[in-house]
Amino acid sequence: MSEMTALRVERAGPLALLQDAGRFGVRRLGVTQGGPLDLHGWAWANALLGNSWGAPALEIALGGGLTLIAESDSTLALAGGDLSATLDGEPLLPWQSFSIRAGQRLTFAAPKTGVRAYLAAPGGFQAEPVLGSVASVVREELGGFDGYGRTLRAGDRLEFRPAARALREVPQDRRVDYTSAPLLALIPGAQIGDFGGVSLYRAFNQDWRVDERADRMGIRLTGTPLACAVDSMISEGIALGAVQVPPDGQPIVLLNDRQTIGGYPRLGALTPLACSRLAQCAPGQSVRFVAQSLYRAQREHRRFMAGFASDAPFSRDG
């Protein structure tokens, strides 16, 4: 087995975090799941290298000048948003694996499309699990390269086992056009019956704008306000993608670093892949909700997960 090598952080971006598939089975303790905001981009970054499901990859938000220096030759992979990545100054597009040599600099700058990129290494980046996962949750100071969930700092070393891999690209039909206005699949439920007919029409028939108040905990959407007959609730468990509507009538979609309980009425929940698409939207982008049955959502998610079994992503039918 090859010895460890690393990418050394020469310059840290605003928000680069280690994320595996997430931290599960601990919400009863008040601990949230973490994991990649864009499950689709993260999964493809790992698949390009043949990594097993759950391998830790680096989630890079907004680029911000993050600069990594390779300590040895290897193969890496990049998927998700186009954050103007360069390798020794040469443009490096996402949705592909690439060779990197010792001493080369990998740099991320301003987003061109999408807002989050995923960088994977052979076998995944190495870190000690906390509560069964290395997923970084800054608020709870859990996970990541140091066990305390902090963002990267200059001088950090992102360790992995170097390996040469066949260079691959994500099939064109599996890539996402982040410039389009997405339709976000929403499974109706929770308190949807407490919203009036006019509000329900507005919920699914108007464009919602992604607000600047957005982070890994949740994304606020703005539009014509919704009204709900329920003005107070006993707090309930909050699932990924829950669409809460506080008293101002502006929906908040709760994501991976959400609180575990909440007391605002909910229209329902976005599917995991709808959450992935929303997570790549920049402030000001338009989105729409489209209702989807639980059965269809489960079927589509099973198909997505099955597509990452073994070498399925690169088979003709994968």
Q: Identity (one letter) of the amino acid at 63?
A: G
Spell out where the chain has E strands: 5-11, 15-19, 57-61, 67-70, 74-82, 86-87, 90-91, 96-100, 105-107, 113-120, 157-160, 183-188, 208-214, 218-222, 236-237, 242-244, 252-254, 261-262, 266-270, 286-291
CA atoms within 13 A on the CB side of 181: 12
Note whether 104 and 7 are within 8 A (CB): no
Compute how many other C-beta atoms are within 10 angstroms of the C-beta atom of residue 72. Answer: 15
| pTM value surpassing 0.85 | yes
Note whether 251 and 244 are within 8 A (CB): yes
Q: Which domains does the chain have, with CATH numbers?
A: 5-174 (no CATH), 183-306 (2.40.100.10)
Q: Can you name the residues that pair with 116 across neighbouring β-strands?
A: 61
The 96-100 sheet, strands edge to edge: 15-19, 57-61, 113-120, 74-82, 96-100
CA atoms within 13 A on the CB side of 128: 4
Note whether 194 and 229 are within 8 A (CB): yes
**Token pair recorded at residue 140:** 């709870």
Q: Name the one residue in this structure whose structure tokens are 């990452």.
A: 308
Number of H helices, E strands in the chain: 4, 20
Per-residue pLDDT of the chain (318 residues; tens, 9 = 90+): 568 899 999 999 888 999 999 999 998 889 999 999 999 999 999 999 999 999 999 999 998 899 999 999 999 999 999 999 999 999 999 999 999 999 999 999 999 999 999 999 999 999 999 999 999 999 999 999 999 998 899 999 999 999 989 999 999 999 999 999 999 999 998 899 999 999 999 999 999 999 999 999 999 999 999 999 987 788 899 999 999 999 999 999 999 999 999 989 999 999 999 999 999 999 999 999 999 999 999 999 999 999 887 666 765 444
CA 211 to chain centre: 18
Q: What are phi and psi of 129, to 5 degrees?
A: -65, 145
